Amino acid sequence: KPKIEIFRKNHSDELLCADNPSLVAVATNDKNNNTLEGIKNILDLDNTKEIADFIEKHYIQKSYGRVSLTVNGEKIKLNQFARDIVESTLKGVISQLKGCENPKDIDIKIKDK
């Protein structure tokens, strides 16, 4: 599971999760601390909007954006159950096709005659 570590000024000299591959960001009030060197995503601990936007952009939107349905040019809203069913069914069928064992990006278009 992805982790965001909290790193407070004058609280600790090192990151607890620095070597943990699931560390995705550090939220801190000490952005210039050398301990944070090499950390890709450094968030402002006092800016809750920045933290929420990071989580939404990198994790929440991905789960909603994985499956979309357009019928007759109109985008159809799918609930989580419908998205999961469509995704698992299509991936299951397509992964059995030769050369498609590990499908990552699938585009399907069906046109009526």
Alpha-carbon distances, residue 46 vs 2, 5, 51, 97 (angstroms): 21, 14, 9, 50
Q: Residues 46-86: pLDDT tens digits?
A: 999 999 999 988 887 555 567 888 999 998 988 888 988 99
Which of 49, 55, 47 has the alpha carbon at shortest distance from 4?
55
Stretch among 29-33, 39-43, 51-55, 59-63 having the lowest mean pLDDT: 59-63
Top pLDDT among 5 and 105 is at 5
pLDDT tops 70 at residue 29:
yes
Q: Would the pTM of this model clear 0.75, i.e. be above it?
A: no
Kindly state the tokens that stand for 39: 């950390």
